[in-house]
């Protein structure tokens, strides 16, 4: 049964009141955030709406501290893999929309293997499988075949260990099948929580149904998928409205399933060939870098234990800044078209949208270390069954330091041995040695040191705690 837990008038009135909130409201919200206390909706709205530069710099400062306390210096790396661009929806912002005339395709299993070979060569262990929505061309059977094909592939240096799936909202039965296929997180962006704006930009196809889309995670949970990743496409509506929507959706999941979003993605609208959003009389307004930065920091404060994902839609400069304020996962070396890694398709590329960070994966990973971060290729949690509320209790208890940190260091050591050159190995080793003392548990620290030695001296791989 569809359930609309987004009360539009309530969010609008929150934001209206927040616009006139005085300093005392914001100062008390900031104090609570500093102490790690949960904020009221009105307080989150006040932080979003403030334009006071002193308040904003305190928001950045607190978000940065939360990020450091909960996630340390680790940044999880992944890449998207587009398998099909057939789509029966008319989403005005997307190049795959049904009214855009271009030569569509989906990967054959042979082509899929070629794509995965290249991704593995770049050191990826974690993929996000992406597709348009098409019952005929891209059925759930096709998606399951792709997942099985990828998981069955074995390489000299290992395998793809986690496939997150970002495909259209579907039925509980199909979610059960995805669960049985061993997916990581099921990701679906609400695009916008403002139903009026949603209706304006979704013109045809199953995705046009706001409630079908909004209740997708309830169906996924009913099917046993307890790691779900939300997001909105910033630029379709008032971005502050959409942050409040994300917060309320997260609470809805916490209340009903004991665990909120595993991750929140923050995609922002990019140029896309064949999109027609600029022709619409919509609430479409580009979100400036300043507002986007504040949004990322406020999300970090409002939902501290939820991972935040930033894609190559953003420039390298902005990505560097946002890593300090709350982002814990980034994509690297991404292609947003079908067959984009191996350029197998003998047809002009049709990316879903144009990316801004065009650096290759290795440069991104290497620069992360230069900036003091630990690129992590860890996929341990879901393989160990630490999903949903089990993961959340790990995060909330602070134990994440004894699990994610050693796993990040071991997987970085693997990456440096298998894909790095001498220079890279040297700097990876530098950060690994620097971070090892931060593993609090004595026996886990000892084990990590032993495992890293094995990784460096033999072909033994895939250690995790
Ligand atoms: N087709 C499914 C759907 O729409 O739910 C699966 C996800 S689609 C492959 C990935 C996401 O790309 C969409 O959810 C949307 O938010 C985003 N996207 C589409 N057009 C975009 C654009 N022009 N700029 C940035 N992101 C865009
Ligand atoms: Fe299709 Fe997804 Fe693009 Fe919409 S956003 S047109 S559903 S691929």
Mutational pocket test of ligand 1: of 96, 267, 280, the residue with most ligand atoms within 8 Å of the beta carbon: 267
Confidence at residue 346, expressed as pLDDT on a 0 to 100 scale: 65
User: 252 is written with which tokens?
Assistant: 């809805």
Confidence at residue 229, expressed as pLDDT on a 0 to 100 scale: 98
Look at the block and give the residue holding tokens 């930065």.
293
Which atom of ligand 1 lies nearest, measured to the CA of 268? 25
User: 165 is written with which tokens?
Assistant: 């799936």
Q: Is 134 in the pocket of ligand 2 (CB under 6 A)?
A: no
Confidence at residue 52, expressed as pLDDT on a 0 to 100 scale: 94
Q: Which ligand does the CA of 91 lie closest to?
A: 2
Q: Is 310 in the pocket of ligand 2 (CB under 6 A)?
A: no
Ligand 2 centroid distance, CA of 236 (Å) = 14
Ligand 2 centroid distance, CA of 133 (Å) = 7
The residue whose CA has the least distance to atom 6 of ligand 2 is 97
Q: Is 269 in the pocket of ligand 2 (CB under 6 A)?
A: no
Confidence at residue 345, expressed as pLDDT on a 0 to 100 scale: 58
How many Cβ atoms from other residues are within 10 Å of residue 60's Cβ?
20
Q: Tell me which long-range contacts 411-415 makes (C-beta under 8 A, separation of at least 24).
A: 411/125, 411/376, 411/377, 411/378, 411/464, 412/374, 412/375, 412/376, 412/377, 413/452, 413/455, 413/456, 414/157, 414/158, 414/377, 414/455, 414/461, 414/462, 415/123, 415/365, 415/375, 415/377
Mutational pocket test of ligand 2: of 97, 135, 202, the residue with most ligand atoms within 8 Å of the beta carbon: 97
pLDDT tens readout for residues 39-97: 999 999 999 999 999 999 999 999 999 999 988 899 999 999 999 999 999 999 999 99
Q: Is 89 in the pocket of ligand 2 (CB under 6 A)?
A: yes
What is the pLDDT averaged over residues 192-202?
97
pLDDT tens readout for residues 414-441: 999 999 999 999 999 999 999 999 998 8
Of 456 and 282, the one with more pLDDT: 456
Confidence at residue 82, expressed as pLDDT on a 0 to 100 scale: 98
Mutational pocket test of ligand 2: of 80, 82, 84, 91, the residue with most ligand atoms within 8 Å of the beta carbon: 91
C-alpha distances (whole Å) from 53 to each of 31, 56, 57, 59, 290 are 17, 5, 6, 10, 11
Pocket of ligand 1 (CB under 6 A): 93-94, 130, 132-133, 166-168, 188-189, 191, 233, 267, 269-270, 272, 275, 313, 352-353
Q: Which ligand does the CA of 272 lie closest to?
A: 1
What value, to the nearest 5°, has the Cα angle with vertex 258 and ends 173 and 42?
A: 115
Confidence at residue 392, expressed as pLDDT on a 0 to 100 scale: 72
pTM: 0.96
d(CA 263, CA 235): 20
d(CA 315, CA 313): 7
User: 92 is written with which tokens?
Assistant: 């005005």
Q: Is 132 in the pocket of ligand 2 (CB under 6 A)?
A: yes
């Amino acid at each position: 049964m569809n359930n609309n837990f987004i009360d539009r008038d309530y969010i609008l009135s929150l934001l209206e009141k927040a616009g006139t909130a005085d300093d005392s409201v914001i100062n008390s919200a900031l104090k609570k955030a500093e102490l790690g206390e949960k904020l009221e909706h009105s307080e989150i709205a006040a932080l979003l709406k403030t334009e006071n530069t002193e308040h904003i710099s305190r928001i950045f400062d607190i978000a940065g501290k939360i990020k450091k306390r909960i996630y340390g210096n680790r940044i999880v790396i992944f890449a998207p893999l587009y398998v099909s661009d057939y789509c029966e929806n008319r989403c005005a912002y997307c190049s795959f929309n049904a009214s855009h005339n271009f030569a569509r395709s989906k990967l054959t299993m042979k082509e899929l293997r070629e794509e995965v070979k290249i991704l593995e060569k770049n050191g990826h262990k974690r993929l996000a499988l992406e597709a348009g929505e098409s019952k005929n061309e891209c059925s759930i059977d096709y998606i399951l075949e792709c997942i099985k094909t990828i998981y069955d592939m074995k390489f000299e240096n290992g395998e793809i260990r986690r496939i997150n799936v970002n495909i259209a909202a579907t039925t509980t039965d199909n979610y059960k099948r995805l669960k049985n296929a061993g997916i990581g997180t099921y990701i679906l962006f609400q695009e916008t929580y403002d139903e009026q704006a949603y209706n304006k930009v979704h013109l045809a196809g199953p995705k046009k149904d706001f409630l079908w889309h909004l209740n997708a995670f309830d169906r996924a949970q009913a099917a046993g998928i307890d790691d779900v990743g939300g997001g909105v496409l910033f630029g379709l509506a008032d971005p502050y409205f959409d942050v409040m929507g994300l917060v309320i959706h997260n609470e809805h999941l916490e209340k009903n399933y004991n665990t909120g979003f595993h991750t929140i993605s923050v995609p922002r609208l990019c140029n896309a060939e064949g999109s027609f959003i600029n022709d619409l009389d919509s609430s479409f307004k580009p979100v400036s870098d300043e507002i986007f930065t504040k949004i990322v920091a406020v999300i970090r404060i409002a939902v501290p234990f939820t991972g935040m994902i930033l894609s190559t839609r953003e420039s390298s400069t902005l990505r560097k800044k946002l890593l300090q304020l709350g982002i814990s996962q980034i994509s690297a070396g991404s292609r947003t078209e079908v067959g984009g890694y191996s350029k197998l398709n003998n047809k002009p590329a049709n990316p879903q949208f144009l990316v801004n960070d065009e650096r290759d994966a290795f440069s991104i990973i290497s620069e992360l270390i230069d900036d003091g971060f630990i690129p992590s290729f860890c996929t341990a949690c879901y393989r160990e069954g630490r999903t949903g509320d089990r993961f959340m209790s790990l995060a909330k208890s602070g134990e994440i330091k004894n699990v994610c940190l050693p796993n990040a260091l071991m997987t970085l050591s693997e990456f440096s041995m298998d894909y790095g050159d001498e220079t890279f190995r040297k700097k990876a080793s530098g950060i690994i040695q620097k971070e090892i003392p931060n593993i609090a548990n004595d026996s886990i620290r000892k084990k990590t040191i032993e495992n890293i030695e094995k990784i460096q001296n033999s072909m033994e791989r895939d250690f995790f705690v």
